[in-house]
Chains A and B, each alone.
Chain A
Amino acid sequence: MSYMIGLKCRECGRLYPKEVVFVCEYCFGGVEVDYDYDAIRRVLTKTALAARPKSLWRYRELLPIEGDPTVGLFSGFTPLFRAERLAEALGVEELYIKDDSVSHPSLSFKDRVVSIALTRAKELEFDTVACASTGNLANSVAALAARAGLKRYIFIPADLEMGKIIGSLIYRPTLVAVEGTYDEVNRLCAEIGAKYPWAFVNINIRPYYAEGSKTYGFEIAEQLGWRVPQHIVVPAAGGSLITKIAKAFKELKRLGLLEDASTKLYCAQAAGCSPIVNTIQARSDIVKPVKPNTIAKSLAIGNPADGYYATKTVLESGGWAEAVTDDEIIEAMKLLAETEGVFTETAGGVTAAAAKKLIEQGIIPKDESIVICITGNGLKTQEPLMNRLGQAARIKPTLASFESELASQLADVSVRQK
């Protein structure tokens, strides 16, 4: 049973059938899935949800598929936990981390969008899937398409981190490293997608794909006991996630699952690629593209497709935006690891660093509830940490060597008495 009615242009409202349509033929606006919310309201209750498996598919009525889910059955429902040590370090009272760095199977929130995209691609009878990616999407499409038995073409900028390249190649896709920026990869893929009959998850099946990000928002609300935090800090590349979190809360409210859906959303970007932050801070509605230059490569999209909507969403929520330097990113990655045991990628460093700045500036109040969105895993972006973490103490396999190398640290440790 599907609750998906069709597709609708976000700009002019024109309606389209639930097929492979991704932009409005008339105004080039993006199209979005439209659902039968009255019917969903009757079946998607808290009691019904409580009995369902802990994966992103527990919200399937609000996801754009026709039949049963077939891909990513174990994705989603990642931990949301109270971060007391980080809260203390930042001087705030109530802080949570929503941790997609441990997403199954590819360790980033992209498993959410790809689970939906590939389930839908199979329904639409594609045998080949493809994507343009800054790395995480590549890993997720490569992994989930392998298990789904789909052919896979992955396009990435040639200068990605080794972890992201190996993390794609292992699943044996056709990996194409394009000599250019992500924006150039994306433009090329739009042209390839127009010529070859493939499901490009972020292009021609994007309306279905993008809905997967809502599950991140659904889970935050459910895991907080059916309430939303007062503040959420979200990283932005293309700008879709932040709009989908807002949409998720609105949908839950519409279905009666949330009493109050008002939360302030904050957009986090790297200073070396901050087109959306610039637009928000200027309170403008024209997103000026930039040429990215940052260690946060997964966020290095200079021409964000959803920049306009992300800006609108943030400003309407009463939130704000902040950009952070590469140094601040690394320091925040370390802080998150040292205080909460979370090893996030550079994008997570961006989010944590932006949260820190917004708190220090007094923009996010210290006594209100805050969620920080961690969307990827640090094992994938190790290069910027080389030479930034100190060294292991190297010793001979003897007690004497141990005690001499670590003498200063052992000086005030009392030894066991015989």
Chain B
Amino acid sequence: MAVTVRIPTPLQRLTNGQAEVQCDGSTVSDLLFDLEKRYPGIKERICDEQGKLRRFVNVFVNEEDIRFMQGDQTAVKAGDEVSIIPAIAGG
């Protein structure tokens, strides 16, 4: 029951250069836990000491920002695509 997780460039060194990896879990939080099991060290880069997503990290499930859903408790299922993207300037 794999979910595709897209890894931002700065973290691809931790995933052996892979831009996309497969993880398991029923929520975003679970996925991050599984991601850490597969690629040790990656979670502390995405989450702060309290385990909360860092201020400048945006997570999208199937292109929707999880802050418009249930945050890191947002449900995910097999076939979903999750993107981890740094905050971006614009205008």
Contacts and interface: CB of A to CB of B under 8 A. Distances in A.
| B is a partner of A | yes
A333 B83 CA distance: 40
Interface residues of B, number: 26
A202 B88 contact: yes
Given A27-B54, A289-B65, A190 B90 contact: no
Interface in B59-91: 60, 63, 65, 67-68, 83, 85-91
B56 to A, nearest CB: 4
Nearest to A184: B63
B6 interface: yes
Residue of A209, A288, A298, A305 most packed against chain B (CB within 10 A): A305
A389 to B, nearest CB: 27
B56 A191 contact: no
A23 B56 contact: yes
B15 to A, nearest CB: 13
A25 B90 contact: no
Contact of A190 (B54, B68, B88): B88
A191 B83 CA distance: 9
Interface in A94-136: 110, 132-134, 136
Interface in A282-309: 288-289, 291, 298, 301, 303, 305-306, 308
Given A132-B88, A191-B85, A237-B91, A28 B57 contact: yes
A364 B91 CA distance: 27
A187 B63 contact: yes
A349 interface: no
A245 to B, nearest CB: 14
B85 A238 contact: no
A210 interface: yes
Interface in A8-24: 11, 22-24
Contact of A133 (B8, B55, B90): B90
Contact of B90 (A26, A132, A191, A194): A132
Closest 7 CB pairs of A and B: A305-B87, A23-B86, A28-B56, A25-B10, A237-B91, A305-B89, A238-B90
